[in-house]
Amino acid sequence: MKIIDLRSDTVTLPTPAMRKAMYEAELGDDVMGEDPTVNRLEALAAEKVGKEAALYVPSGTMGNLVCILSHCQRGDEVILGDQAHTFIFEVGAASVLGGLQVHTVPNEPNGMLVPQNVIDAIRGENVHFPPTALVCLENTHNKCGGWALTLEQMDSVCLPVKERGIPVHLDGARIFNAAVALEVDVKELTRNVDSVMFCLSKGLCAPVGSMVAGSEEFIRRARKNRKMVGGGMRQAGVLAAAGIVALTEMVDRLVDDHSNARVLADGLEGMEGLRREQHGVRTNMVFFTLVTDRMTPPEFRSALEEEGVKVGYYGKGVFRAVTHHGIEQEDIHLALGAFRRVMQERA
Ligand code: TLP
């Protein structure tokens, strides 16, 4: 039985082209700046997102941390959404390792921050206040259904924040999903942020790694902070080679993941005992809630697993299914059959 693993697009495996590129990669010591493959990946990534420079980091979590550390000093405050990955899923790193205070404002269901709420959260001059040093956005927004924010939506927050002299960081773990869904060049979405982190290891299928990008001066600081948190990786070109394939060959196919997610969402619609979450499907994520008392969430999850389908659990009965490379439309139909059997026979 094929396991249809919809827990996350992080489960994707490197493609044959990636494995070949990894095998053949030219290597050097990247901490000394001498790994030609890492240097090539960094130049390519910077060019793709329209920034002066980029830096290869081991993970999205480290990428966000390195950017936050590079924008802020201990004692500063960072404004971000209360559903932000950085706030919920990054082990409190900004506070623990950066000595920063996080100031959350509520995310709208589509992942947006209400611009006025962000402006109101910026601290004024007062001896009692920590200085506001950074605002973070997320696109696509993971906890808000994988929704893609348009340039206009992002600008409605970015521009007034930047007018006040405060930089904006974008957690763009899945920014290529957003660009593909909105049919815009990714540069459009990154144009007005000061730094962006994006992942090579999710829908783009590289085994490891994320990129951060910004001005040359910012990336110099980020490189030092990456070293500080242990992210200097020596002959990292063996991994970066897969990242180059990710950026050159794996972006356009994300459209298939998005259409598979819609097929899945349509199939789940109206299934007794399940309620699709309202935010709709824009990219590769489908959220739904178990609304029957005949089965607990863990029972539902293991019944699905027995049928060969894995989904992610977000608590309070809410589940997430993520489509990705290796999941074909026929797998979605098989998965829907499994959902139906679990809901009809066991619920
Ligand atoms: N998200 C993972 C889990 O951590 C929840 C997933 O399965 O979706 N920003 C965003 C928006 C993310 O979704 C993730 C990973 C990260 C940052 C962190 O990236 P990694 O896992 O590379 O540290």
**Could you report the per-residue pLDDT of 324-334, keeping only the tens digit for each?**
999 999 999 99
Q: Is residue 269 scored above 70 in pLDDT?
A: yes
Taking CA atoms only, the protein residue closest to ligand 1 atom 9 is 173
Distance CA 157, CA 141 (A): 15
pLDDT for residue 282 is more than 70: yes
Percentage of the chain beyond pLDDT 90 is 96
Name the pLDDT band for 70 (thresholds 50, 70, 90). very high
Q: Is the CB of 210 under 6 A from ligand 1?
A: yes
Q: Determine the Cα–Cα distance for residues 166 and 43; give it in Å rounded to an integer.
A: 26
Taking the centre of ligand 1 as the mean of its atom positions, its distance from the CA of residue 127, in whole angstroms, is 37
Q: What confidence tens digit (pLDDT) does each residue in 195-251 have?
A: 999 999 999 999 999 999 999 999 999 999 999 999 999 999 999 999 999 999 999
For 130-166, the pLDDT digits (tens) are 999 999 999 999 999 999 999 999 999 999 999 999 9
| Cα–Cα distance list, 224 to 57, 74, 111, 204, 219 (Å) | 12, 16, 31, 27, 9
Q: What is the structure's pLDDT at 281?
A: 84
**Separation of CA 128 and ligand 1 centre (Å):** 35
Quick one: pLDDT band at residue 345, thresholds 50, 70, 90?
confident
Residue 270: pLDDT band by 50, 70, 90 thresholds? confident
Distance 173 CA to ligand 1 centre (A): 7
Task: Determine if ligand 1 sits within 6 Å of the CB of residue 277.
Answer: no
138 C-beta closer than 6 A to ligand 1: yes
Does 89 sit in the ligand 1 pocket, CB within 6 Å? yes
Atom number of ligand 1 nearest to Cα 10:
7
Is a pLDDT exceeding 70 seen at residue 279?
no
Residue 280 has pLDDT above 80, yes or no: no
Burial classification of residue 188, based on how many CB atoms lie within 10 Å of its CB (0-12 exposed, 13-18 middle, 19 or more buried): middle
Per-residue pLDDT, 278: 67
Q: Distance between CA atoms of 241 and 138, rounded to whole angstroms?
A: 27
Q: Tell me what pLDDT residue 40 has.
A: 98
The pLDDT value given to residue 283: 97
Q: Give yes or no for residue 10 CB within 6 A of ligand 1.
A: yes
Pocket test of ligand 1: the residue of 61, 83, 85 to mutate, having most ligand atoms within 8 Å of its CB, is 85
Question: Average per-residue pLDDT in the chain?
Answer: 97
